[in-house]
Amino acid sequence: MIPSGVLAETSRKEKKDPDVVSICTIIIVIQICRYKHQNLHQMIMNLKILIKNYNKQELGTDGAIKDKMIGLITDLNQVKRLQTDKEMTIVKTKSGSTVQEANKLKTELATDKSRLDAKRGEISLDVMSVMLQTEAAKSEEDSEKLADNFCEGKVGLDNFLETYISSRTMSHLRQIKSQKMNELVREHSPTRNRGQISSSYNNDIRSPGLAPYPAYSSSAGQYPASGYSMPQPYYAS
């Protein structure tokens, strides 16, 4: 709401043309209410400075007065700042929504990754080995079935050659992967590792080649054989 003192002051200073003042005041009120600016007094003062030298003849008709006043109001710095603030508010709102959506997607991605890692950790080497063996057996069975169909005349030669070669290749690859996986399972088996350690320890203890001293045969006598005879004790006659 515009203070009554401001309107009265405007009327007193523009008595030379009451019609122009009243029309301008109404237009100012409408435009200010539209922009909802808080500093109404400052805006009105700026407009008064702009229109103080205008009269009704210079402004023309009532429509021209309205257009002129709207143009003056639109060119005010306060109004321009309002428009800029409005645009910045819209941009900030959109940016905030975009950031929230990005954070939401990031959280969902992290959750999905955690679930995937958990599922991946549940699959042990033994399970993977069994799965590979199953797939290899299935590929072998499919290739044999295809060969039987060819022998029975159910499949043409070209189709048989193309399909059979790819099927056998897949079967062999899966068998190789299955064998490699079985080797990994055996290598990572704790029972096998313990058996290896125990066997190695027992071999180290029982191996005669690792004794700290060389072994001598009991038939070799008390002293080792050599080219010199041991001195005999002398007894007086």
pLDDT tens digits for 148-178?
Answer: 888 888 878 888 888 888 888 888 888 888 8
Range of the domain at 11: 4-75
Angle at 69 between CA 91 and CA 9, to 5 degrees: 110
Q: Where are the alpha helices (DSSP H) in the chain?
A: 4-13, 18-35, 40-51, 56-59, 62-74, 77-122, 125-151, 157-187, 190-206
pLDDT for res 217: 47
What Cα–Cα distance (Å) separates residue 237 from each residue in 137, 230, 231, 234? Answer: 97, 21, 18, 10
User: Does the CA dihedral 3-6-8-11 come out positive or negative?
Assistant: negative
In a domain, 208, yes or no: no
In a domain, 61, yes or no: yes
Which residue stretches of the chain have pLDDT < 50?
Answer: 1-3, 6-18, 37-38, 193, 197-198, 201, 205-221, 223, 226-228, 237
How many structural domains does the chain have? Answer: 2
In a domain, 134, yes or no: yes
pLDDT for res 201: 47
In a domain, 47, yes or no: yes
CB 125 within 8 A of CB 184: yes
Which two three-digit tokens encode residue 88?
């910045």
Last residue of a domain, one of 35, 59, 75: 75
In a domain, 17, yes or no: yes
In the chain, the amino acid numbered 10 is: T
In a domain, 205, yes or no: no
The pLDDT tens digits of the residues spanning 65-91 come to: 566 666 666 666 666 676 677 777 787
In a domain, 214, yes or no: no
Last residue of a domain, one of 75, 95, 115: 75
Last residue of a domain, one of 49, 75, 101: 75
Whole-model pTM?
Answer: 0.29
Q: What is the dihedral of CA 91, 97, 102, 103, to 10 degrees?
A: 120
